[in-house]
Amino acid sequence: MTTKLWANSGDSHFIEPDDLWSKELPKSLVDLVPRSVKDEDGLWETVYVDGQSFRRRLPKMTGGAKEFRDLAQRAPGFKDFSKRIADQDEEGVWAELVFPSLGMWAASFRTRELLKETARITNDFSVSEIMSLSPRLLPTAQISTLDVQDAIDEMQRCAGLGFKSVFFTISPHPMQQDWQHDYWEPLWAAMEEAKMVIAFHIGTEPIDMAAGEVIGITYRGPGGAVMNYTETTFSGQRAVMKMVASGALDRHPDLKVMVSEGGATWAPFLADRMEEGYRQHYMTVRPKLNRSPREIIYSQVYASFQHDPTAVSACRDMGFNNVMWGSDYPHLEGTYGHTQETLHGLFDGVDAATSDRIRFGAFEELFPSAPKAPADIRN
């Protein structure tokens, strides 16, 4: 019999109940919350976000993809939170960082009050319905990405409620300044003070409603599906690039950043490129940093992956220790139903220290208050 391999997950989700926001928001805001309406033929859907809408073709579910989606939606804890821990016990997942699903549209909200209120409602829901289930579940807080003071107020309230991290979209709404600008500096200072981790999740760019696509990176034609999927990965790298080059992480050495679902091997690569740019273009570099880009990335940036075989090498062979595994439960890209096969494929034959670091250590370093896996399952 094969030994069950356990791991913490730096990338999991919950699915919001359909009426989470609508039942609590004032009438003026209810019509603005994100929702999707599928055509009868199931081929297209219309997505409504904050008074805007766009149409998109749904992925054709054939072969492996259909199998994975059916399986993920058969997870008993897919929507019934009371069954979630049993799902994780079955799969071999110990502690999880839990992101939203619908809330990932946050960068497409343009109404300040709507974003502020939906964040507050989601956070209260996460406390009462997710945190309460088990200390193994660490929900991410949601905050405004339109107004820095709204963001600080909600982040501090959430720190008081027991959250350890804040979910960040890869960039804010295009009407707001991007993460590298000084506008956000008070938030970085407040998060460092509150010991809250910045948790970027890939695939959270704002949508260009008129075009019905993610701004700047939507391909059509040959290769489109794989190209669009792959493109979502680069934005996570760009978010880290902005936080490093702008000096935000240099000014706040205790501020930690993670990128979920974006792989891990990019981190040493990005460090190489930024290091070269910083050194060779030194005369024009602003701001100057107190530590090199590599030093900042290797000490303050963490990355989670689910299937990537090379992610293990990033930790073992490239000295980038902050590699974390993630299940992406219960999403289509995740490992539900094949978690054990995935973990054995990744870690069988890998030295114990590397395996433990990726499955538990990096997560525990980032979230020291999370419950440690008991010795008998930490194999």
Stretch that binds Mn ion, among 84-92, 123-131, 268-276, 327-335 (CB under 5 A): 327-335
**C-alpha span between 68 and 61 (Å, rounded):** 9
Q: How far apart are CA 6 and CA 95, in angstroms?
A: 10
Helices (H), 247-338: 248-251, 266-280, 293-300, 311-316
- Report residue 166: phi and psi, to 5°: -125, 130
| Alpha carbons 151 and 360: distance in angstroms, whole number | 30
Looking at beta carbons only, is 203 or 247 nearer to Mn ion?
A: 203
* Helix 185-194 / helix 148-161 crossing angle, nearest 10 deg: 10
Residues 52-81 that bind Mn ion (CB under 5 A): none
Nearer to Mn ion, 87 or 328 (CB): 328
Which of 5, 8, 10, 11 touches Mn ion by CB under 5 A?
Answer: 11
User: What is the x/- site pattern for Mn ion, positions 335-364, by CB under 5 A?
Assistant: ------------------------------
Q: Which is nearer to Mn ion, 118 or 260 (CB)?
A: 260
Q: How far is the CB of 353 from Mn ion (least distance, A)?
A: 27
Mode of pairing for the β-strands spanning 213-214 and 207-208: antiparallel
**Stretches 188-196, 240-248, 253-261, 359-367: which one binds Mn ion (CB under 5 A)?**
253-261
Closest CB to Mn ion among 180 and 335? 335
In sequence order, the β-bridge partners of residue 325 are 305
Name the minimum Å distance from CB 357 to Mn ion.
Answer: 21
Binder to Mn ion among 150, 192, 250, 328 (CB under 5 A)?
328
**Which residue's CB is nearer to Mn ion, number 114 or number 199?**
199
Site for Mn ion in 225-244 (CB under 5 A): none
320 and 314 Cβ atoms separated by less than 8 Å: yes
Q: CB of residue 74 vs Mn ion: minimum separation in angstroms?
A: 19
**Rounded distance between C-alpha atoms, residue 319 and residue 256, angstroms:** 18
Q: How many amino acids of this chain bind Mn ion (CB under 5 A)?
A: 3
Residue 112 neighbours by CB under 8 Å, 6+ apart = 144, 146, 147, 150
From 54-62, 105-113, 209-217, 254-262, span contacting Mn ion (CB under 5 A) = 254-262
H, E, C per residue of 316-379: HCCCCCCEEECCCCCCCCCCCCCHHHHHHHHHCCCCHHHHHHHHHHHHHHHCCCCCCCCCCCCC
Choose one: 32-40, 44-52, 123-131, 326-334; the region binding Mn ion (CB under 5 A): 326-334
Is residue 308 at the binding interface for Mn ion, with CB under 5 A as the rule?
no
Calculate the CA 119 to chain-centre distance. 16
User: Looking at beta carbons, which residue is closest to Mn ion?
Assistant: 261
CB of 216 to Mn ion, least distance (A): 21
Residues of this chain that bind Mn ion (CB under 5 A): 11, 261, 328
